[in-house]
Amino acid sequence: MPTFQQFPLPDAGEGLTEAEIVAWQVAVGDRVEVNQTIVEIETAKSLVDLPSPWAGVVTQLLVAPGTTVDVGTPIIEIDTDPDGAAAPTEPPVVTGSVRHVGGAERHRGVEPGGAEEMEAAREASAPAPEPAAKPEPVLVGYGLAEGGTGRRPRGTEAAAPAPRSPHALAKPPVRKLARELGVSLDSVTPTGPGGIVTREDVLAMSAQAEARTLATYAGDEQPWLASGTVSSDGRQTRVPVKSVRKRTAEAMVASAFSAPHVTVFHTIDVTRTMKLVERLRADREFADVRVTPLLIAAKALMLAIRRHPEINASWDDASQEIVYKHYINLGIAAATPRGLVVPNIKDAHRLTLRELADGIAQLTATARAGRVTPADMSDGTITITNVGVFGIDTGTPILNPGEAAILAFGAIREQPWVHKGKIKVRHVTQLALSFDHRLVDGELGARVLADVARVLAEPAHGLVWG
């Protein structure tokens, strides 16, 4: 007899409680092998490929793409004995339920029970007649099995109406009205008897089209609309808060309202840093890696931490202790299509400048591809956010939770600057350092920022402090 196994959503990270089903890599009827990727999920931190724990044939996809489910919820059913190799026993009892956003449930199963059980066994062993048309598999939230009832999940479209005739039916006055209003009759859903388009149908379609024309703006048909529900008048799109955006919001609120933030600023001449960047780009040692001013800023920050290690700390509320870190896990804030993520380079203080450049490049590429792991995001000690890449001069960054400071690196611009008593065109940028005032006094924060600025203004300081 077939053996059906339901695979529950596992905890793919540290303390994962829920995840969104992004895309299925298999379909009903597909054969799968052990450890073959079957689904891509999105957690609060990253995209994760889940492998199959069994070999067999997929019998059901229990959760529709775009649905967020809790850890432990069955997401797929696999027949692990599709060829009937196992010895027949009693008819199988397969039960289970799937909960998705919106609260709908779907139960399936065959309960043993006397004559009904025997009849089910006979039907299972008898050759099934060839169906006229094989029904499509039913996904939870995407429709119902025969005789079922339920609600569609939030964010999905209502069931499509019955297909219309290629040529809409309408009376001559209605056709004339449609021409005057510029409404295509074939695009109108008829409500009249026998599938005829009424005057009210045409007026409703015209009003809807006019509302969208007035409400929308150039470029609003971008894919982000597909992730939410558009109002009938086209004036709003509601997108559920989940995954990275949800995690970021929770973390930023917790940080902003638990750690008293202070920000100090510094405007500096980084012309010599720009010259160093050009020299490194021409150096064969750095030929296959991207060298940017951010690399020098990262090195400058670590040199400043070496001189002022008290800033590399965290506040432990539970034990009411300050935890000083004897290592630097350097976080790089990365803007991705999925939202802001802050993976970190482990033990960055041990890396050479070339190794640090490699680390930043790999970390950025991984983050933008949505492939950071929970381990990449954990145990950060201090962060850099490069707002200058967007042409922004500076900002007041919010601390990454669990860290004492974050450095904002602004855009580098050519502008007039007093250099050696004369006004010259120099490369100038702004730095902003936000810090937790429970851990960092104003003097310490100012000294750290001043040291970062000194290295960027004159990279040779790195030789002295290194």
Domains annotated for the chain, with CATH where assigned, are: 4-125 (2.40.50.100), 169-217+227-238 (4.10.320.10), 244-465 (3.30.559.10)
Give the integer Cα–Cα distance in Å for 377 and 342.
6
pLDDT of residue 159: 42
Task: List, in order, residues 6 or more apart from 456 with CB less than 8 Å away.
Answer: 268, 270, 273, 293, 296, 297, 300, 429, 431
Q: What is the pLDDT of residues 285-314, one digit of tens each?
A: 999 999 999 999 999 999 999 999 999 999
54, exposed or middle or buried, with CB in 10 Å at 0-12, 13-18, 19+? middle
- Strand segments, DSSP code E, in 28-153 are 31-32, 37-42, 47-51, 56-61, 68-70, 74-79, 96-97, 107-108
Tell me the three state secondary structure of residue 264: strand
More confident residue, 442 or 135: 442
pLDDT of residue 144: 35
Please name which of 2, 144, 6 lies closest in space to residue 76, comparing C-alpha atoms: 6
Highest mean pLDDT among 10-14, 149-153, 163-167, 387-391: 387-391
* Mean pLDDT score, 31-51: 86
Give the integer Cα–Cα distance in Å for 274 and 388.
14
Q: What share of the chain is helix, strand, coil (3-state, %, to 5)?
A: 30, 25, 45
Please name which of 21, 16, 124, 106 lies closest in space to residue 64, comparing C-alpha atoms: 21
What is the band of 45 on the pLDDT scale with cuts at 50, 70, 90?
A: low
Please name which of 433, 403, 223, 261 lies closest in space to residue 324, comparing C-alpha atoms: 403
pLDDT of residue 85: 66
240, exposed or middle or buried, with CB in 10 Å at 0-12, 13-18, 19+? middle
pLDDT of residue 195: 87
* Mean pLDDT score, 385-399: 94
pLDDT of residue 15: 66
pLDDT of residue 1: 52
Give the residue numbers marked as catalytic: 437
DSSP state of 235: S
Give the integer Cα–Cα distance in Å for 176 and 49.
55
Backbone angles phi, psi at 375, to 5 degrees: -65, -35
Give the integer Cα–Cα distance in Å for 82 and 78.
9
* Mean pLDDT score, 221-227: 53
Model confidence at 403: pLDDT above 90 = yes
Which range is least confidently modeled, 13-22, 207-216, 324-333, 418-427?
207-216
* Cα distances (Å, whole numbers) of residue 239 to 16, 48, 173, 215, 230: 22, 22, 41, 18, 9
Give the integer Cα–Cα distance in Å for 427 and 411.
10
What is the band of 226 on the pLDDT scale with cuts at 50, 70, 90?
A: low
**Looking at the chain, how many residues does it have?**
466
What is the chain's mean pLDDT, rounded?
A: 80
Q: What is the pLDDT of residues 423-458, one digit of tens each?
A: 999 999 999 999 999 999 999 999 999 999 999 999
Which range is least confidently modeled, 56-60, 92-96, 369-373?
92-96
Give the integer Cα–Cα distance in Å for 27 and 184.
37
Vertex 88: Cα angle to 60 and 126 (nearest 5): 70
* Mean pLDDT score, 394-415: 95
Tell me the two tokens of residue 104: 């709908």
More confident residue, 273 or 401: 273
Which range is least confidently modeled, 195-204, 350-359, 420-429?
195-204
Give the integer Cα–Cα distance in Å for 459 and 464.
10
What is the band of 22 on the pLDDT scale with cuts at 50, 70, 90?
A: confident
Highest mean pLDDT among 118-127, 128-137, 228-237, 290-299: 290-299
Task: List, in order, residues 6 or more apart from 460 with CB less than 8 Å away.
Answer: none
Q: Model-level pTM?
A: 0.59
**What is the identity of the amino acid at 104?**
A
